[in-house]
A = this chain, B = another copy of it.
Amino acid sequence: MRDAFHEELDAITASLVEMGELVSLAMREGTTALLTVDLKLAEKVIADDDRIDDMQHELEANAIGIMARQQPVAQDLRTLVTSLRMSADLERMGDFGHHIAKIARMRYPAAAVPAELTATIQSMGDVAGKIIDKATHVIKTQDLKAAVELEVDDDEMDRLHRQLFTILLDDSWSHGIETAIDMTLLGRYYERCADHAVSTARRVYFLVKGEYASEQKPTA
């Protein structure tokens, strides 16, 4: 049986996992709202972000409370500090879903994404969802194999990001500057969200092993 302290740590992990599930939903629904021009869904994603922000504040208060009461040292203390940083990553990842939904809302009733970029944006949304789900699994299970796999998944996001720029810069681009600005920002939101997900998986790896995997480069 787990002692009271480790039950409190488990509760922190459960909150991180719940945040990861909400972020995954936000990125998937945000992408759907964008590509199907669904204002109601966009509004839902925007409103749901408050819940993710609230969870981060609660988690931070809980973690500080546990530190003050339990006075953890060594690995237990590092676990709590890492949880604080992962909750900040997850909160930020939720912001990107919110930003994507806001672009959908801003351009409504027009479609923000032109036809020639629909497939790329859909793929970026799918890859983001997959990366977030895998990072959430890593937080839940400390599955280090999955943590390393995420580096490869992120390479796919980088490839899609380059593909987006190739389409924007093609001579046949006919949608003008405003749409190019929207697509530049969208591309960055998906890519940054994936970066933060990779970063959470690296933090778990480092926490367990005390070093980064050879495939991983430390990031902040």
Contact = CB atoms under 8 A, between A and B. Distances in A.
Interface string A193-220: 0000000000000000000000000101
B64 A220 contact: no
Contact of A56 (B92, B165, B168, B220): B220
Oligomeric state, in copies:
2
Contacts of A74: 68
B95 A220 contact: yes
Contacts of A60: 81
A178 B184 CA distance: 10
A110 interface: no
Interface in A62-77: 64, 67-68, 71, 73-74, 77
21 contacts: A53-B220, A56-B220, A57-B218, A60-B81, A64-B77, A64-B78, A64-B81, A68-B73, A68-B74, A68-B77, A71-B71, A81-B84, A85-B88, A88-B88, A168-B177, A169-B177, A169-B178, A180-B184, A184-B184, A185-B188, A188-B188
Given A53-B220, A84-B85, A95-B220, 15 more contacts: A60-B81, A64-B77, A64-B78, A64-B81, A81-B84, A84-B84, A85-B88, A91-B220, A169-B181, A173-B177, A180-B181, A180-B184, A181-B184, A184-B184, A188-B188
